[in-house]
Chain A
Amino acid sequence: MRIVVPMKAVPDLVEEIELTSDGSGIDREYLKFVLNEWDDQALEEALLVKEAGDAEVIAVGLDSDPDIEQALYAALAKGADKAVKLTGAGEAPDTHARAEMLAGWLGDQGADLVITGVQSPDDLDGQLPPALGARMGLPHVSVVTSIEAGADAGTVRVRQEFSGGRSTELSVTLPAVVGLQAARQSPRYAPISRIRQMMQAGGIEEAPLSPASGTSGLRVRRMYAPESTGHAEMLTGSPDEVAAKIVELLSARGLVKG
């Protein structure tokens, strides 16, 4: 089985997000980019499928994403068989453009399964897995928490999760696209030394993309940080002083014996 895992680098949410001076988008220049956490989950699940049977895992990234090489080398270090950087993706493509370009490239890759993150923090025009599924005319399932070999050859069993902890199991005929929510186990860790080895070996392949022709049909008027209408009243002081205030708030409501 051939599994392709499209990965995306996204702004690190731990950092302060700056907007461009005209407020029409985020300022990517000084932002730190990291692998989309759900793509990391997707890679983990792909590696688990590989370990459970006979599969080849190919991690792919777009050259539009800052530091995507880092994620691709890490994928190799974790056990992906191949990493491919797709070139000519343009600047900051949105989901619709990504889906169109990836579908073009995937067309002749013979992938049985495409596994990618259920969402990314900046996919304003929607999530990649269903867009890709629709573009490629393939069955697709999102919010998935496990993928295992199916009862019949050429199928997989996927677990799809719903609000409140309900879930269902679906049997899906391959080829298919899956949007991963959480892998069956926490994503494995790749030691830095191993990532370095991969970098020295220079194992990333490159392949060109055909540029996207369509647009998402969204026009951004402005972006802004949420207006702080209901911002919390901040408690300041030493840990002990803050602790005292918190206990006071709770005991005023009879929640601790003050």
Chain B
Amino acid sequence: MSNNVMVLCEHVGKRVTDSTYELIGKARELAGAFGGQVEVALFGPADLAEQLGGADVVVNVDDPSLAEYVPECYERALMHVLGEREPRLLLLANATIGLDLGAAISVSWQAPLAAYCVGLAAEGDTLVATCQILGGKIMAEVETEGTKAVATVVGGAFPTEPGQGSGSPEVVTVSVPDLGSVRMSLTQTFEAQGGDVDITSVDMLVSVGRGIGSQDNLETVEELATSLGVPLSASRPVIDSGWLPKSRQVGKSGLKVKPRAYLAFGISGAPEHLEGMRSAELIIACNTDEQAPIFEIAHYGTTVDLFDLVPAIVERVQG
């Protein structure tokens, strides 16, 4: 067992993701407190180690079966690396890979898992995690028992800068046992589809959530968007219902937007939504539930019913 903190590197198209830097930054702090080093597990070509200057050690597994993300290949490789390196703590981003592997690693590696972390601290030997649950309505402060743990971390919870050091980490190469027996294979990759408008490059967005109730009701907010001359964006359930195209989705599995103003109607403010819009310059939220988490990050809020408020704004704007 070591006191090291390990981060699983995520990369897309030869670029290490921001969420990886967020984890490395936090790992630096925690490894300092535990008296260990920051290790980054890098699957795929070793040349990406150049982008991992924030690590002390890069543990590289360069196997053809790891060139793209295939859940079972990654899981086996990660279990192998954990067995070899025995870190104190494994950090995963709470995105697809973390949702895929976190709890499986917890079961197989026999280490507790704290999910949806927005805070992590070392108190002596104890790891204390602050987790955001129940759609962001409740925070849970938990201790992990034992001498190893896994944490999955919400995107944007920690800054990227502390993880973007310019050191030259030692690269340790690990080979994994045969991955030929895995029971899944990648057959196709689909890039994100572009839409009619690019919601990431506009000044203002009118954004709508499940509170709109039905597709027919969309007309109300559409009218507002038109009168303001801005596009309509939405939370995931509106997209999943097929009411608006995927290119209009804001959030974790949609797009990250940073407009000068973001007007949210009938959106609760689940962590996955906030991930995509929290850095908008001005956030105005309309939600009839005064406890809705969206009000924690909005600059202005109102509990007026959206069906009363939206027409009133339209009337003013059209003057």
- Spell out A's residues near B (CB within 8 Å): 11, 13-14, 16-17, 19, 26, 95-96, 99, 118-119, 121-131, 133-135, 139-143, 157, 159-173, 176, 179, 181-182, 185-186, 216-226, 228, 230-236, 239-240, 242-247, 249-250, 253, 255-256
Contacts and interface: CB of A to CB of B under 8 A. Distances in A.
A250 B285 CA distance: 13
Interface of B: 12, 68-72, 95-96, 99-108, 111-116, 128, 131-146, 149, 152, 155, 182-193, 203-204, 228, 236, 240-242, 246-247, 249, 252-256, 260-261, 263, 268, 282-285, 289-291, 293, 295-305, 308-309, 311-313, 315-317
Contact of B96 (A128, A143, A232): A143
B316 A244 contact: yes
B101 to A, nearest CB: 6
Contact of A124 (B140, B240, B316): B140
B99 A143 contact: yes
A119 B133 contact: no
A224 B118 CA distance: 14
Contacts of A181: 253
A126 B138 contact: no
27 contacts: A123-B133, A124-B115, A125-B114, A126-B113, A127-B102, A128-B103, A130-B103, A131-B104, A131-B107, A142-B99, A142-B100, A160-B71, A162-B12, A166-B12, A166-B190, A168-B68, A168-B188, A169-B186, A171-B185, A171-B187, A182-B240, A220-B140, A223-B140, A231-B295, A234-B295, A246-B284, A249-B300
B108 to A, nearest CB: 5
What 6 A-B pairs come out closest when comparing CB atoms?
A: A217-B112, A126-B103, A165-B192, A232-B301, A243-B312, A130-B104
A176 B183 contact: yes
A226 B183 contact: no
Contacts of B204: 250, 255
Nearest to B252: A163
B241 A186 contact: yes
B102 A126 contact: yes
Contacts of B12: 162, 166
B313 A243 contact: yes
Contacts of A249: 261, 282, 284, 300
Nearest to B308: A239
Contacts of A250: 204, 228, 261
B301 A234 contact: yes
Given A142-B96, A171-B185, A240-B312, A13 B268 contact: yes
Nearest to A17: B137
Nearest to B254: A165
B245 to A, nearest CB: 10
Contacts of B263: 246
B188 to A, nearest CB: 4
B71 A170 contact: yes
Contacts of B291: 16-17, 225
Given A163-B96, A231-B296, A13 B101 contact: no
A134 B101 CA distance: 9
Contacts of B192: 164-166
A16 B134 CA distance: 11
